[in-house]
Amino acid sequence: MKINYQETTTDLATRIDIHNKYGGRNIDEWMLGVLKPSKGIKILDVGCGSGKQCFSFYDYLDGQAEIIGGDVNEELLNQARAENQKRNLPIQFVSLDFNRRFPYPDNTFDLVSCCFAIYYAEDVPFTLSEMHRVLKSGGRLFTTGPMPNNKQLFYDVIREATNNKPIPPMPGSSRYSTQFLSVMKELFSRVDVHIFENPLTFESVDPFIAYTRASLSEDRKLWSSFFKDKDEFERIMRAITQVAERRLKQEGKLVMTKVVGGFVAIK
Ligand SMILES: C[S@@+](CC[C@H](N)C(=O)[O-])C[C@H]1O[C@@H](n2cnc3c(N)ncnc32)[C@H](O)[C@@H]1O
């Protein structure tokens, strides 16, 4: 499946920032607690974006690991490189398209991670088999993605604001816990599922609307069937704002819970 997807640096930064500010839990701490990576390992982070997970691994391991982050988006990679340079770290940020053969020999890494990105792969079995190939025997693949009950409030508000206009299938939540998990189980010797829940609590509509705008932004293209042009996008955003304001008045706050599956697969 070819997915017309492009994350912009601003949209990704907005969403990460809102998770950090309004969520009670830190997903990177959860990831590190699930994985407990040990010092001296070799890590490949695929779809690394601006390097969030690479920097977390580096800090947790006191720099005692070889870490490579790969992505197709040069703008996000440059952001990661700038942070790397600012902190004077040795993390490598490389151009890597997970729809193509990875530029690494078999059995290279102890850990391959891919956070909130795997579901943009055009050919899921191919991408997962590349991850499997570059892992050492006994090495682990860690992926994260949305579970079916993720961000219920976000979808409820959009449905109400648009009189149940059909929401385009999201490549993540519609397939991550089903198709991806079963391909992983076929390829790897064992897969464990961990769940992370993080309620984001908003006491005003503004951050919820900023999150919604960044998620629906025309640049991401996933929602392009939902509005034909900029005017319709703005009209829908106004309707969403009205529904969110009414719900906030009724309930005193807006709670949107992120429900994330962390799959740990062992080669
Ligand atoms: C939602 S972002 C997640 C970034 C980062 N892992 C994080 O959690 O902050 C999804 C990432 O997948 C990357 N991506 C999409 N298609 C890709 C491809 N074909 N190869 C490598 N990365 C890709 C995007 O550029 C983007 O950085």
- Please check whether residue 2 lies inside any domain of the structure: no
- Closest residue by Cα to atom 16, ligand 1, is 120
The percentage of residues in the chain with a pLDDT greater than 90, rounded to a whole number, is 76
Residue 225, in any domain of the structure:
yes
Ramachandran area for residue 261 (φ above 0: left; ψ -120 to 50: alpha; else beta):
beta
Mutate to test the pocket of ligand 1, among 10, 48, 99 (most ligand atoms within 8 A of CB): 48
CATH code at 130? 3.40.50.150
Of all protein residues, the one whose alpha carbon is nearest to atom 13 of ligand 1 is 47
Query: What pLDDT is attached to residue 175?
Result: 87
Give the pLDDT of residue 135. Answer: 98
What integer is the mean pLDDT of 15-37? 92
Provide the residue range defining the domain that includes 189: 9-266
Which tens digit of pLDDT belongs to each residue from 220-261? 667 777 888 888 889 999 999 999 999 999 999 999 999 999
Within-domain flag for 1: no
Per-residue pLDDT, 192: 98
- Tell how far the Cα of 250 is from the centroid of ligand 1, in angstroms: 37
- Nearest CA, atom 20, ligand 1: 97
Question: 73, 77, 83, 93: which to mutate for ligand 1, most atoms within 8 A of CB?
Answer: 73
What is the spatial distance between Cα 74 and Cα 50, in angstroms, rounded to a whole number?
10
Q: Which helix (H) or strand (E) holds 70?
A: strand 66-71
Cα Rg of the chain, angstroms = 19
Q: What is the pLDDT of residue 171?
A: 66
Number of domains in the chain: 1
| Residue having the nearest C-alpha atom to atom 25 of ligand 1 | 73
pLDDT at 219: 58
Cα 11 to middle of ligand 1, angstroms: 12
Residue whose CA is at the smallest distance from ligand 1 atom 26: 49
pLDDT at position 59 over 60:
yes
Coil, helix or strand at residue 106:
coil
3-state helix, strand, coil in the chain (%, to 5): 45, 25, 35
Can you tell me the distance from the alpha carbon of 54 to that of 38, in angstroms, rounded to the nearest whole number?
14
pLDDT at residue 98 in the model: 98
23-30 CB contacts, 8 Å cutoff, 24+ apart: 23/198, 23/199, 23/200, 23/258, 24/198, 24/199, 24/201, 25/196, 25/197, 25/198, 27/144, 27/196, 27/198, 27/258, 27/260, 28/52, 28/53, 28/56, 30/194, 30/196, 30/262
Concatenate the DSSP letters of all residues of 164-206 into one string: SPPPPPPTTTTTIIIIIHHHHHHHSSEEEEEEEEEEEEESSHH
Q: Residue with the nearest Cα to atom 1 of ligand 1?
A: 116
Please give the number of the atom of ligand 1 that sits closest to the Cα of 16.
Answer: 9
Give Cα separations from 253 to 14, 22, 99, 128, 259 (angstroms).
Answer: 20, 12, 42, 40, 19
Q: Is residue 46 part of a domain?
A: yes
The listed range with the strongest mean pLDDT (87-101, 174-188, 226-240) is 87-101
Give SS3 for 263.
strand
Ligand 1 centre distance from Cα of residue 71 (Å): 6
Average pLDDT, the chain: 92
Residues touching ligand 1 (Cβ under 6 Å) are 7, 12, 16, 47-49, 52-53, 71-73, 76, 96-99, 115-117, 120
In a domain? residue 259: yes
Residue 199: CB atoms within 10 Å: 14
The amino acid occupying position 91 is I
**Eight-class DSSP state of 139:** E
Is residue 221 a part of any domain in this protein? yes
4, part of any domain = no
